[in-house]
Amino acid sequence: MKILIYGLNTWPEPVGIGRYTGELVAWLAERGHEVRAIAAPPYFPNWRVGLGGEVGAPQYRNRYRREHIGGVRVQRCPLWVPARPNGLTRLLHLSSFALTSLPPLLAQRRWRPDVVFTVAPAFFCAPGALLLRRLCGRRSRAWLHIQDFELDAAFELGMLKGPALRRLAETGERRTLRGFDAVSTISAAMVQKLAEKGVASERTRLVPNWVDLTAIRPQGPQERFANPYRRELGLSDRQTLLLYSGSMNKKQGVQVLAEVIRRLRHRRDLVWLLAGEGATRPELEAATADLPQVRWMPLQPSERLNDWLNAADIHLLPQKEKVADLVLPSKLMGILASGRPVVASSPPGSELALLAADGGLCVPPEDVAAFTAAVERLADDPALRAAAGLRARRLAERHFGREAVLAGLERELEKLQAC
């Protein structure tokens, strides 16, 4: 099958959507499919082209570039990257890629892909994907995979404002969604959101984010004692490490962590490790600058990911209430697979709340007192941590193994192409 993967982010971005898209491209190619990709040069999570890639990856400039990665032809297209993203600048950012990628996208008409697989964000790319499908003829199919509902999140977080603008955006979104042969997303709550947006159930698919269960596995007590990150940080076996790692932007709600850490500053047995990039990182650094138990590190290379996730005794996963059913943090799958418990914040009944409650504790969003109490409860009860970690690993094994998820996606792609 000839598959074109079209989206903003892909390898070598080390986290988030870019990582999953890159793994998808590589997996499909290894399965013998003829795969091409159109993407921007890496810029996330640093929001700067050339600084968004995995450690040791090639350096990129913000310009058109064609390369071959693992037998896959990847066309890079330039884009405008704001230094401090907000509602308007994010729109311009996403629009810039949709415009610069349109000529290389439409040039794929000669190749005639069987499936044009578009990853959102950026939803602005969706009209171009539909146009290419029409140009390629009846045998071509269009699939839209939604990692997060970017327009809804922008309005809910106040990054975009105005009822008239929202009605206009939602009308355009509904019309675009109706043009795709299949629309998938990463959680059951988000599939329900598609139904609310008018997508017929026979065209929706659940394709959760996945984790390599072989590469990420729980470490036992002896391995924990020898964990290289705990050694580098100079931690004793009696100290409890709490880890937040990933993007630091509005929807993550990481601002709550500063107050939680401050409330627990008397606990010298607790060490807080924060790693990531994003618009709210400077604010969080400033708020914790006088707290010696807080350590900062950059995002770590993928080859060290298992040690990184297992270094933590407790993972931290705050989230804003307004985006609870619009996104599902991609880092959650690795946390579950590592067999370490998590303290998350999400409204009752949300996808994150259900998963986190099984693999740790979940509290209401932006409730500092509840988050603090949950951290202390897990920190003071090693048996509770161990039990939650076992449940977390079972969740990952039952629902999020990479081979099972991607094999299911492959079968759906083949069914769609055969229609």
Q: pLDDT tens digits for the chain (419 residues)?
A: 999 999 999 999 888 899 999 999 999 999 999 999 999 999 988 888 987 777 667 789 999 999 998 889 999 999 999 987 777 788 899 999 999 999 999 999 999 999 999 999 888 899 999 999 999 998 999 999 999 888 887 787 777 788 888 888 888 899 999 999 999 999 998 999 999 999 999 999 999 999 999 999 999 988 888 999 999 999 998 999 999 998 887 666 788 999 999 999 999 999 999 998 877 888 889 999 999 999 999 888 888 999 999 999 999 999 887 776 677 888 899 999 999 999 999 988 888 889 999 999 999 998 999 999 999 999 999 999 999 999 999 999 999 999 999 999 999 999 998 88
Residue 357 inside a domain? The answer is: yes
Pairing outcome for strands 115-120 and 141-146? parallel
Q: What is the CATH number of the domain that holds 391?
A: 3.40.50.2000
Same domain for 107 and 56: yes
Same domain for 103 and 132: yes
Same domain for 124 and 146: yes
> Locate tokens 């890496």: which residue?
42
Same domain for 253 and 194: no
C-alpha span between 135 and 357 (Å, rounded): 48
C-alpha 227: how far from chain center: 26
Same domain for 386 and 407: no
Residue 61 inside a domain? The answer is: yes
Same domain for 410 and 395: no
Residue 352 has, within 13 A of its CA and on its CB side, a CA count of: 29
Residue 317 inside a domain? The answer is: yes
Please tell me the total count of domains within the chain: 2
Which residue range is the domain that position 76 belongs to? 2-210+401-418
Same domain for 191 and 288: no
The whole-model pTM stands at 0.89
Q: What is the largest CA-CA distance in the chain?
A: 66
| Main-chain dihedrals φ then ψ at residue 393, nearest 5 degrees | -65, -40
Query: In residues, how long is the chain?
Result: 419
Same domain for 143 and 281: no
Eight-state DSSP code of residue 250: G
Q: Contact, 123 vs 13, CB < 8 A? A: no
Residue 216 inside a domain? The answer is: no
Tell me the CA distances in angstroms from 136 to 97, 105, 129, 141, 169, one per residue in order: 22, 12, 11, 9, 28
Helices (H), 184-254: 188-196, 221-226, 228-232
Same domain for 267 and 162: no
Residue 46 inside a domain? The answer is: yes
C-alpha span between 9 and 26 (Å, rounded): 14
Closest alpha carbon to 345 in 249, 257, 247: 257
Provide DSSP, 96-125.
HHHHHHHHHHHGGGTT--SEEEEEES-GGG
C-alpha span between 56 and 397 (Å, rounded): 30
What is the torsional sign of CA 16, 20, 25, 27?
A: positive
Same domain for 53 and 149: yes
Residue 141 has, within 13 A of its CA and on its CB side, a CA count of: 19
Same domain for 193 and 76: yes
Residue 331 inside a domain? The answer is: yes
Which DSSP helix (H) or strand (E) runs through 37?
strand 34-39
Residue 121 inside a domain? The answer is: yes
Closest alpha carbon to 352 in 374, 368, 322, 328: 328
- Lay out the sheet containing 2-7: strands in order across: 65-69, 72-76, 34-39, 2-7, 115-120, 141-146, 182-185, 204-206
| Main-chain dihedrals φ then ψ at residue 74, nearest 5 degrees | -115, 125
Same domain for 379 and 329: yes
Pairing outcome for strands 204-206 and 182-185? parallel
C-alpha span between 349 and 239 (Å, rounded): 33
Residue 215 inside a domain? The answer is: no
